[in-house]
Structure 1
Amino acid sequence: MGQFLQFAFLGLAVGAVYAVLASSLVGVYAATGIINFAQGALGLWAVYTVAALRTSGDLVLPIGRIPIGSEDSPVMMWPALIIGVASAIVWAIIAHYLVFRPLRQAPVLAQVVASVGLMLFIQALVHLRFDTDDLLALRILPDDTVEFAGAVINVSDLILAGIAIVIAALFWAYFRLTRLGVATRAGAEDELAARLVGYSPDRLAAIVWVITGAATGLIAVLASFTIGLNLTNYTFYVIPALAVALLGRLTSFGIACAAGLALGSFQAVITWLTTKDWWPDWAQAGLGDAVPFVIIVVALFLMGGRIPSRGSLGEVKMPAVRIPQIRPIPTIAVLAVVVAAILLTDGTWRFGVVTSIILALIALSLVLLTGYLGQISLASMAFAGAAGFALSKLTVNWNVPFPIDMLLAALIATGFGILVGVPALRIRGAQLAVVTLAAAIAIQGFVFNNPGITAYEGNLITDPSLFGLDLGVRDGTNLVTIRFSLLVLVVVTIATLIVMRFMAGSTGRAFLAVRSNERAAAAVGINVASTKLLGFALSAFLAGIGGCLIGYSRGQLSAGSFTVMVGLVLLAMTYVGGITSVSGAFIAGIVGPLGVGYVFLNQTLNLGEYYEIIAAAGLLLAAILNPVGIAGAFTELGDKLRARRGHATATTDDDGGTSTSLVTPTTSKAGLNA
C-alpha cells in the first residue's frame, strides 16, 4: 500500500501540469472557441528561458540574447521565474494577435493547422536557440518530504497540486464573478451581442490569453525540476490536458483540474505496476501514453454533441476542391520528369527523390481524408508506421512474398484507420483533430516504442523481389538502386491514378457531399457513417502503402521513422502545397522531411537544421494568408488568366465576329464545415 501511495503522489507533479494546461485550454476555448494545441509549447519556452537564466545568465530571445548575468553569477531564482512567466505571456499575446485573431472567422481546419504550426514553430525555435543538451532545471520548490501511510511524499509535489487547484479556482472566479469574465462567457454565446453592449471580444480574448499564458508558464517552470527538461514531453502534454478538459466538456475548470491530477497519478501507478513480475511483457511500455487516447475517445463519443461551440459573426468557407482529371499527356510528362530525376541522380539526391515520391503518396492520403472528405486527421504517419512494422514481421517472420506482404501490411494499417475513424461518427472538426493526434501519440508510445510488440530481430525488412528479380534498395555501396526507385514510382503511380478515379467518380461525389453538409448528404441517400469510415480506411491504406515503401527504402525500421512530429511536419507541407488538390500532395512530397527540398536545403544551402522551423513558419503563413496552398494559388492564377483571355476573345469586331464560351475545369464549391 505504501508503494502504491508513493507512486500516486509522485504523479502529482505531472498531474499538476495537466491540470493547469487543461484549465488554460478551457479558458481559451471559452474566450475564442479555439482548441490551442500550442498551449504546452508556451510552457516549453518558459522552462528553457528560466533554465538558461539560472545556468548561463543569458536571456535568450527568438533573435539574439541579452546577458543579464553570467555562468559565475547567474540570475537569481525569483527574477528568473518572473522573466520565464513573462516570456510565456509574450508568446500568448503573439499567438492571439498574429495567429488566431486573423483566423477568428476562418474554418476549423485553418485554426487547427495554425495551432499545430505554432506548436511546431515554438518547439523548433527552442531547439535552435537553447543549448538543450546541457541545460538543467534547478530546484525552485522546497526539498522536504513527509510520511503518510508508509509512503514518503515530496512536499514539492503537494505544493504543485495545490497551485493547480488554486489556479483552477481563480479561473472559475474570473469567468463567474468578474464583469470581464461574464462578458467573455456572453461573447462566447453571441459575439455580436457582446459587441452591441460595448465589449470587444478581441480584447476580452487577449486578457484570457495573458492569464492562461502566465498560468502555463508558472506551472511548467515550477514542475521542471521534478519532471526534467524535454522538448517533446512539454509540447505533447497538451494531449492528456485535452483529454481531461474534454471530460469537463471544455467548460468546467473543476473537472479539468481534478481529472488532470488523477490522470498524472494514474500514469505513475501504471509505471509502478510494470515493475511487477505478473505484468504482461506486451504492456511494459507506452500504456500510459494510450490512456489519454482512451479517455478522449470515450469522452467525445459519449458527449461530443453536447460540447458547446462559440457563436461568431460568420464563417469563411474553404477553397473549392478541383475534381482531378487524368490527362494522358501531362501524366506522361510528369512521369518522364521523375524518371529523368531518378536516372540522373545518385546517392543522397536519388534517396531524396525516392523519399519525395513516397511522401507524396502519404500526403495524398491527407488530401483524400482532410481536403476531400473534410475529416481532420493528424495520424497519417501512425498509419504508415503500423504498416511498416507489420511488414517487418510479415517478411522476416512469415516469409510472405512481395507484393502480398505490402498489401497485407496496408490492410493492417487500414484496421487502425477504421478504429481511429469510429469517433468521427459522432464528432468532427477540432475535436476530431484531438482524437487523431492522441491516437498517433498512443500508437507511437504503445506500439512503435514497445519492445514487447515491435522488437523482432531489429525490425529488419526483407528486400522485395518479383519473378526472381531483386528489387532491393541497396546494391553494394549504391545507396538507392534504379530498379527500386522505379518500383516505388510504379507503385505510387498506380495508387495515385486509382485514387484520382475514386475522387472523380461517385465515391468522390459522396465525399464532397459529406464534406459540404452531412445532413444534406444523408437527405439524398448517402450513408454518412459508411462514407466517413471508407474515407478513413482508404486514407490509412494509402498511408500504409507509403509506410511499406519507407520500410523497403530503409531495410530496417525504427520508431524514429514514424514519429508524431514527422507526421505533423508532413501535414504542414501538405497544407502549404494545397490540402484540397492532388498537386498539393506532390508539392508536399517534394518539400517533405528527407525529400528533395530537404536535401537541397541541407546539402546545397547547408540549412538542414532550420527545416522544421521553416516548415512551421510556412504552415502558419499558409493558414493565415493563403489557405488554398501553392497548388491552389497557381490554379486560381490560371483561372484568372483564362477568364481574361476568354473575355477578350468573346468581344466582336466591326464585321460582327462570333463570341466564344469560356470552359473552366470542374470544381466543387463545397465548404469545409468539419
Structure 2
Amino acid sequence: MGQFLQFAFLGLAAGAIYSVLASSLVGIYAATGIINFAQGAIGLYSVYLVAALRTDGSLVLPIGTLSLGSEDDPTSMELALVLGVVSAVVWALLAHVLVFRPLRHAPVLAQVVASVGLMLFLQALVQLRFDTENLFAQSILPENTVEIAGAVVNVSDLILAGVAIAVSLLLWAYFRLTTLGVATRAGSEDELAARLSGYSPDRLAAIVWVISGAATGLIVVLASFTIGLTVTSYTFFVIPALAVALVGRLTSFGIACAAGLVLGAFQSVISWLATKTWWPEWAQAGLGDAVPFVIVVVALFLLGGRIPSRGSLGEVRMPAVRIPRIRVVPTVAIIAAVVIAILLTFGTWRFGVVTSVILTLIALSLVLLTGYLGQISLASMAFAGAAGFALSKLTTNWNVPFPFSMLFAALIATGLGVLVGVPALRIRGAQLAVVTLAAALAIQSFVFNNPAITAFEGNMIADPTLFGIDLGVRDGTNLVTLRFALMVLVVVAIATLVVLRFMGGSTGRAFLAVRSNERAAASVGINVAATKLLGFALSAFLAGIGGCLIGYSRGQLSAGSFTVMIGLTLLAMTYVGGITSFAGAVIAGIIGPLGVGYVFLTQTLSFGEYYELIAAGSLLLMAVMNPVGVAGAASEFGDRIRTLRHRREPEPQPGAPGAAQSAEAGAHV
C-alpha cells in the first residue's frame, strides 16, 4: 500500500499541470467559446525561458537576446520566475489579439486549425531559439520529503497540487463572485446582451487570457524540475488537460482540477504496475498516454450533448467547395508534368518529388473528410502509420505480394479510421478534433512506440515486385529508382481519380449535405451515420495507401515517420493550400514535410531549420486572413476576372451579325 501511495503522489506534479491547463481551458472556453489546443505550448516557452535565464542569464526573445547575467552569475530564481510568467501572459494576449479575436465568428474549422497552428508555431520557435538539448530545469520548490501513510512524499509535489487547487478556486471565484466574471459568463450565453449592457466581450476575454496565461506559466515553471525539459511533452500536456476539462463539461473548474490530479496519479500508478512481472508485455509502454483518449471518448459520449456552446452574433459557414470534375486534358497534363519532374530529377530532388506525390494523397484524405464532410480530423498520419506498420508485418512475416499487401494494410487502416470515427456519430466540430488528436497521440504512444506491438524484424518492408519486375526504391547508390517513382505515381493517380469520382458523384453530394446541415440531410433520406463512417473509412483508406507508399520509400519504418506533429504539419499545409479542393491537396503535397518545397528550402535556400516555423506561420495567416487557402483564393480571383470580362463585353445591336449569331445559338439551345 505504501508503494501504491508513493507512486500516486509522484503523479501529482503532472496532475497539477493537467489541472491548471484544464482550468485555463474551461475559462477560455467560457470567455470565447474556443478550445485552445495551444495552451500547453504557451507554457512551453516559459519553461525554456526560465531555464536559459538560470543557466547563463540569457533572456531569449523571439528575435534577439538580452543578457541579464552570466554562467557564473545567472539571473536570480525570483526574477526568472516572474519573467517566465510574464512571457506566458504576453503569448496568451498575443494569441487573443492576433489570432482568436479575428476568428471569433469564423467557422469552427478555422478556429481549430488556427489553434493547432499556434501550437506548431510556438514549438518550432522554442526549438529554433533555445538550445533544447543542453538546457536543464533547476529546482525552485523545496526538495525535502514527508511521510504520509507509509509513503515518502515530496513536499514539492504537494505544493504543486496546492497551486493547482488555488488556481481552480481563483478562476471559480472570478467567474462567480466578480462583476466582470459574471458578465463574461453572461456573454458566453448571449453575446449581444453583454454588448448592450456595456461590456466588451473582447476585453472580458482578454482578462481571462491573462489569468490563464499567468497560471499556465507559473505551474509549468514550478513543475519543470520534476517533469524535466522536453519540447513535445509540454505541448501535448494539453491532451490529458482537454480530457479532464471535458469531464467537467468545459464548465466546472472543480471537477476539471480534481480529475486532473487523479489522472496524473493514475498514470504514475500504471507506470509502476508496468514494472511488475505479471503485467502483460503488450501494455508496458504507452498505456498511460492512451488513458486520456479513453476518457475523452467516454466523456463526450456521455456528456457531448450537454456541453454548452457559446452564443454568437451570427451564423458562420465553412469555406466554399468546388465540385471536382475529371477532365481528360488537365488530368493528362498534370500526370505528364509529374513524369517530367521525375525524369529530370535524381537523388534528393527525386525523393522530394515522390514524397510530394505521396503527401498529396494523404492531404486528399483530409480534403475528403474535413473539407467535404466537415468532420475535423487530426489523425491522418496515425492512419498512415497503422497501414505502414501493418505492411511491414504482411511483407516480412507473411510474404503477401504487392499490391495485395498494400491493399490489406490500407484496409487495416480503414478499420482503425471507422473506430476513431464512431464518436463523430455523437459529436462534431472542435470536440471531434479533440477526439482525433487524442486518438493520434494514443496510437503513436501505445502502438508505434510500443516494442511489443511494432518491433518485429526491425520493421523492414520487402521491396514491391510485379510480374517479376523489381519496383524497389533503391538500386545501389540510386536513392530513388525510376521504376519506383513511376509506380508511386500510378498508384496515387488511380486512387486520386477514384476518390475524385466519388466526390463528384452522389457520394460527394451526400457528404456536402451532411456538412451543410445534418438534420436537413436526414430529412431527404441521407443516412447521416453511415455517411460519416463512410467518410472516415475512405479517408483512412487513402491515408493508409499513402502510409504504405511511405513505407516502401523508406524500406524500414520507424515511429518518427508518422508522428502527430508531422500529421498536424500536413494538416496545416492542406489548409494553406485549400482544405476544400483537390488543388489544395496538390499544394499541400508540394510544400509538405520532405516534399519538393522542403527540399528547396533545405538544398537551395538553406532554410530547412525554419521550415516548421514557416509552415505554422503560413497557417496562422491563412486561418485569419484567407480561410479558403491558396487554391480557393486563385479560384475566386479567376471568377472575378471572368465576371469583369463578361461585364465589359458589349451587347450585340439588333441587326448586327453578332445578334443574328446569338439568336441562332439561342434557337439551338
TM-score range, shorter chain: over 0.9
Which residue pairs with 2:555 in the alignment? 555
Structure 2 length-normalised TM: 0.98
CA distance in 1, matches of 2:406, 2:218: 49
Contact 1:246 1:299 in 2 (8 A): yes
Does 2:52 correspond to 1:52?
A: yes
Could you tell me which amino acid in structure 2 is paired with residue 334 of structure 1? I
Could you tell me which amino acid in structure 2 is paired with residue 477 of structure 1? T
Which residue pairs with 1:381 in the alignment? 381
Which residue pairs with 1:180 in the alignment? 180
CA distance in 2, matches of 1:627, 1:85: 33
1:299-335 residue CA offsets vs partner (Å, 9 max, x unmatched): 0011101100000111332221000001101111111
User: Secondary structure of 1:269's partner?
Assistant: helix
* Aligned positions of 1:105-116 closer than 5 A: 105-116=105-116
Report how far residue 655 of structure 1 moved: 5.1
Which residue pairs with 2:351 in the alignment? 351
Which residue pairs with 1:151 in the alignment? 151
Report how far residue 64 of structure 1 moved: 0.3
Contact 1:578 1:629 in 2 (8 A): yes
Report how far residue 552 of structure 1 moved: 0.2
User: Secondary structure of 1:131's partner?
Assistant: coil
Which residue pairs with 1:244 in the alignment? 244
Which residue pairs with 1:534 in the alignment? 534
- Structure 1: gaps (5+ residues): 662-674
Which residue pairs with 2:196 in the alignment? 196
User: Secondary structure of 1:322's partner?
Assistant: coil
CA distance in 2, matches of 1:484, 1:653: 61
Which residue pairs with 2:459 in the alignment? 459
Could you tell me which amino acid in structure 2 is paired with residue 554 of structure 1? R
Which residue pairs with 1:140 in the alignment? 140
Contact 1:650 1:660 in 2 (8 A): no
1:89-124 residue CA offsets vs partner (Å, 9 max, x unmatched): 000000000000000000000000000000000000
1:580-616 residue CA offsets vs partner (Å, 9 max, x unmatched): 0001000000000000000000000000000000000
Contact 1:646 1:660 in 2 (8 A): no
CA distance in 2, matches of 1:471, 1:660: 57
Which residue pairs with 1:417 in the alignment? 417
Contact 1:57 1:67 in 2 (8 A): yes
Q: 1:154 to 1:660 in 2, by over 3 A?
A: farther
CA distance in 2, matches of 1:493, 1:649: 40
Which residue pairs with 2:591 in the alignment? 591
Could you tell me which amino acid in structure 1 is paired with residue 507 of structure 2? T
Report how far residue 650 of structure 1 moved: 5.5
Could you tell me which amino acid in structure 2 is paired with residue 181 of structure 1? G
Does 2:14 correspond to 1:14?
A: yes
CA distance in 2, matches of 1:364, 1:579: 9
CA distance in 2, matches of 1:114, 1:481: 39
1:615-670 residue CA offsets vs partner (Å, 9 max, x unmatched): 00000001001111111111111111111222233623475544979xxxxxxxxx
User: Secondary structure of 2:59's partner?
Assistant: strand
Which residue pairs with 2:667 in the alignment? none
CA distance in 2, matches of 1:239, 1:271: 18
Report how far residue 497 of structure 1 moved: 0.2
Report how far residue 507 of structure 1 moved: 0.4
Contact 1:107 1:318 in 2 (8 A): yes
Does 2:498 correspond to 1:501?
A: no
Contact 1:296 1:435 in 2 (8 A): yes
- Structure 2: gaps (5+ residues): 664-669
CA distance in 2, matches of 1:213, 1:660: 67
Contact 1:54 1:74 in 2 (8 A): yes
User: Secondary structure of 1:651's partner?
Assistant: coil
Q: Indicate the larger mover: 22-31 or 647-656.
A: 647-656
Which residue pairs with 2:524 in the alignment? 524
Which residue pairs with 1:83 in the alignment? 83
Which residue pairs with 2:627 in the alignment? 627
Could you tell me which amino acid in structure 1 is paired with residue 25 of structure 2? L
Report how far residue 3 of structure 1 moved: 1.0
* Aligned positions of 1:43-442 closer than 5 A: 43-442=43-442
CA distance in 1, matches of 2:64, 2:383: 40
Does 2:597 correspond to 1:601?
A: no
- Percent identity, please: 79
Report how far residue 543 of structure 1 moved: 0.1
CA distance in 2, matches of 1:504, 1:281: 47
Q: Indicate the larger mover: 642-651 or 72-81.
A: 642-651
User: Secondary structure of 1:321's partner?
Assistant: coil
CA distance in 1, matches of 2:117, 2:653: 54
CA distance in 2, matches of 1:104, 1:364: 28
Which residue pairs with 2:492 in the alignment? 492
Q: Indicate the larger mover: 639-648 or 536-545.
A: 639-648
CA distance in 1, matches of 2:495, 2:235: 35
Could you tell me which amino acid in structure 2 is paired with residue 600 of structure 1? F
User: Secondary structure of 2:146's partner?
Assistant: strand
Which residue pairs with 2:636 in the alignment? 636
CA distance in 1, matches of 2:662, 2:564: 52
- Considering only aligned residues, what root-mean-square deviation do their CA atoms show, in Å? 1.0
Report how far residue 386 of structure 1 moved: 0.2
Could you tell me which amino acid in structure 1 is paired with residue 358 of structure 2? I
Structure 1 length-normalised TM: 0.97
Q: 1:517 to 1:467 in 2, by over 3 A?
A: same
